[in-house]
């Protein structure tokens, strides 16, 4: 295969893939934590902020959310393809990764800041700020996932990065769930708008400081420059089709991510109803969420040992099959206090398995990006990462709509003290059996074949190609 791209970093030759320092791995992972913080702020507080603080009509807000989601779904892959085809003086994916982190912080602050505009002015302001805020978040997947294989080809480094990310994600989510609610009232002194604005301003400052560190520490070592011949840079439909349909690892990532988000979205929608009407105890929902963090972190601590013992493929399968079985098994839990305890126990076990296997699952996309470059000679990391973001957006939208339509169909009566036995049974199905069935396509992971040895061979071959390209340029 002819590799027509020009190589940016001539100092990276075969055998020079040294282990990354902890600080670089941390800075490569930290945007995942801040991203989750922003996602949780949007999911938990933005609707409340628009309705109770800015007093915007909810019908308009619902339409805004839908329209922006559609744009995000279309725009994210286009942005990913765009960054694949260009380079900047500061790097290929690194500048976009850093800029998106800062802009996320900036527009998070602007979105949650009230400038005391007129009612019409508030609608216009909310529309513009949310549109940009949401778009930035949708575009983050492309450079975020493409940057990892541009920095390191080592599987152990990639696992380590996803372990760090695995620590940051639940902590960030917990900060929003347990910290923001009381803080915005305390900091605002009774003024919710002021409280939210101060919190998000602090996040913006932190994001800016992180970006400065990232600019100095992160180094793209495996960058293939676009050729001066624009036709050679063009990603054809054949390339895209080959990358997706002939790349088993990419298919596993896309299928697992889509059905996983779809199942989790339906389960998340049903959670409060399930605890309220099945166990008759809403408070258990918070208990369940907080206690899951501990076993997840414990599992993360052991994830590197697991991969060394049973291998990457078996670790990935272990992350998919047991959780589906736990979800299915929860169908048989009785609506008693003991049943609630067993359910929370299943959640703790699921959290431990998720932490134990999550880093191995996270390495699949960088491996798929390397495989695509190996097969096509073109770096399509931005596009491939953005497709993953597109599927996440679609699955979230579908799960939300599906659950909203399901509630009246199962006979749910809003605000009622009790629901019918049939409705409660269906709520249990939406929490247990239905998500388990949705996750069945994830079993395609059994066909994962980019083992550690195979990835090492691909990395070696790519390094040899780059070395030859450098030599030909210097002649």
pLDDT at 274: 84
430 in Cβ contact with 399 (< 8 Å): no
Higher pLDDT, 17 or 464: 464
154 in Cβ contact with 458 (< 8 Å): no
The average confidence (pLDDT) of the chain is: 82
DSSP string, 329-370: HGGG--SSHHHHHHHHHHHHHHHHHHHHHHHHHHTHHHHHHH
State pLDDT tens for residues 222-258: 776 555 555 555 566 666 666 667 788 888 888 988 9
pLDDT at 215: 94
pLDDT at 15: 44
pLDDT at 422: 92
pTM: 0.74
pLDDT at 237: 60
**Residues 100-117, mean pLDDT to the nearest whole number:** 93
Give the angle 432-434-437 at the CA atoms, nearest 5°: 110
Q: Is pLDDT of 176 > 90?
A: no
pLDDT at 351: 86
Q: Is pLDDT of 12 > 50?
A: no
Percent of the chain with pLDDT over 90: 18
Q: Is pLDDT of 42 > 60?
A: yes
Q: 321 exposed, middle or buried (CB, 10 Å; 0-12, 13-18, 19+)?
A: middle
Q: Is pLDDT of 204 > 90?
A: yes
Distances from the Cα of 227 to the Cαs of 10, 149, 469, in angstroms? 16, 20, 12
pLDDT at 241: 66
pLDDT at 74: 83
Give the model's confidence band at 11: pLDDT under 50 very low, under 70 low, under 90 confident, else very high. Answer: very low
| Rounded CA separation 395/157 (Å) | 30
| Rounded CA separation 115/86 (Å) | 38
pLDDT at 101: 93
DSSP string, 77-94: HHHHHHHHS--BTTBSSH
Max avg pLDDT among 215-229, 287-301, 304-318, 388-402? 304-318
CATH of range 237-475; options 3.90.1150.10, 1.20.1250.20, 2.130.10.10, 3.40.50.1820: 1.20.1250.20
**What does the radius of gyration of the chain's CA atoms come to, in whole angstroms?**
23
Question: In the chain, which residues fall in CATH 1.20.1250.20?
Answer: 18-220, 237-475
State pLDDT tens for residues 422-442: 999 998 999 889 999 998 898
State pLDDT tens for residues 53-96: 888 887 788 788 878 888 888 888 888 888 888 888 888 899 99
Q: Worst-scoring range by mean pLDDT, 127-141, 175-189, 228-242, 390-404?
A: 228-242
pLDDT at 469: 64
Architecture of domain 18-220: Up-down Bundle (1.20)
Q: Is pLDDT of 196 > 50?
A: yes
Q: Worst-scoring range by mean pLDDT, 282-286, 357-361, 382-386?
A: 282-286
Max avg pLDDT among 118-132, 254-268, 299-313, 320-334? 118-132
* Helix intervals (H) in 112-191: 119-139, 141-151, 155-174, 181-188
pLDDT at 221: 83
Q: Is pLDDT of 131 > 90?
A: yes
pLDDT at 239: 61
**Other CB atoms within 10 Å distance of the CB of residue 447:** 11
| Rounded CA separation 187/163 (Å) | 33
Which residue has tokens 């896309």? 254
**Residues 139-168, mean pLDDT to the nearest whole number:** 86
Which residue, 392, 382, 391, is CA-closest to 224? Answer: 382
**Residues 292-319, mean pLDDT to the nearest whole number:** 86
Q: Is pLDDT of 1 > 80?
A: no
**Residues 339-360, mean pLDDT to the nearest whole number:** 88
250 in Cβ contact with 370 (< 8 Å): no
First-to-last C-alpha distance (Å) of the chain: 21
Give the model's confidence band at 201: pLDDT under 50 very low, under 70 low, under 90 confident, else very high. Answer: very high
């Amino acid at each position: 295969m002819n590799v027509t791209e020009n190589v940016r970093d001539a100092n990276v030759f075969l055998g020079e893939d040294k282990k990354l320092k902890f600080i670089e791995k941390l800075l490569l992972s930290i945007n995942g934590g801040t991203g989750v913080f922003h996602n949780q702020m949007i999911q938990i507080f933005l609707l409340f902020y628009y309705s109770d603080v800015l007093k915007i009509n909810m019908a308009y807000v619902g339409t805004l959310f839908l329209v922006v989601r559609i744009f995000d779904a279309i725009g994210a892959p286009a942005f990913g393809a765009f960054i694949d085809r260009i380079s900047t003086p500061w790097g290929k994916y690194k500048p976009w990764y850093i800029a998106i982190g800062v802009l996320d912080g900036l527009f998070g602050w602007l979105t949650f800041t009230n400038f005391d505009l007129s009612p019409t002015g508030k609608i216009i302001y909310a529309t513009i700020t949310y549109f940009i805020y949401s778009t930035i978040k949708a575009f983050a997947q492309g450079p975020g996932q493409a940057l990892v294989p541009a920095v390191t080809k080592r599987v152990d480094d990639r696992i380590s990065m996803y372990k760090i990310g695995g620590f940051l994600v639940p902590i960030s989510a917990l900060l929003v769930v347990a910290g923001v609610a009381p803080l915005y009232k305390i900091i605002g002194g009774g003024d919710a708008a002021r409280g939210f604005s101060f919190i998000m301003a602090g996040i913006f400052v932190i994001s800016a400081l992180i970006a400065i560190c990232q600019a100095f520490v992160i180094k793209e070592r495996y960058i293939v420059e676009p050729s001066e011949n624009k036709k050679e840079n063009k990603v054809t439909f054949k390339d895209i089709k080959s990358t997706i349909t002939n790349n088993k690892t990419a298919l596993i990532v896309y299928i697992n991510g889509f059905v996983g988000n779809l199942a989790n979205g339906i389960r998340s929608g049903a959670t409060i109803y399930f605890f309220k009407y099945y166990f008759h105890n809403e408070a258990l929902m918070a208990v369940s969420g907080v206690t899951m963090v501990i076993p997840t972190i414990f599992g993360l601590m052991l994830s590197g040992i697991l991969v060394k013992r049973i291998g990457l493929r078996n670790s990935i399968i272990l992350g998919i099959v047991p959780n589906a079985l736990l979800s299915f098994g929860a169908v048989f839990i009785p609506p008693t206090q003991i049943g609630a305890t067993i359910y929370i126990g299943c959640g703790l076990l699921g959290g431990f398995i998720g932490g134990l296997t999550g880093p191995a699952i996270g390495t699949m996309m960088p491996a798929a990006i390397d495989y695509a470059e190996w097969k096509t000679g073109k770096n399509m990391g931005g596009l491939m990462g953005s497709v993953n973001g597109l599927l996440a957006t679609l699955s979230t939208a579908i799960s939300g709509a599906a659950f909203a339509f399901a509630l009246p169909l199962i006979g749910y009566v809003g605000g009622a003290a009790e629901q019918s036995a049939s409705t409660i049974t269906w709520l249990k199905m939406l929490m247990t059996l239905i998500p388990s069935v949705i996750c069945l396509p994830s079993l395609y992971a059994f066909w994962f074949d980019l083992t550690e040895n195979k990835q090492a061979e691909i990395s070696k071959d790519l390094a040899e190609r780059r070395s030859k390209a450098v030599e030909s340029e210097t002649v």
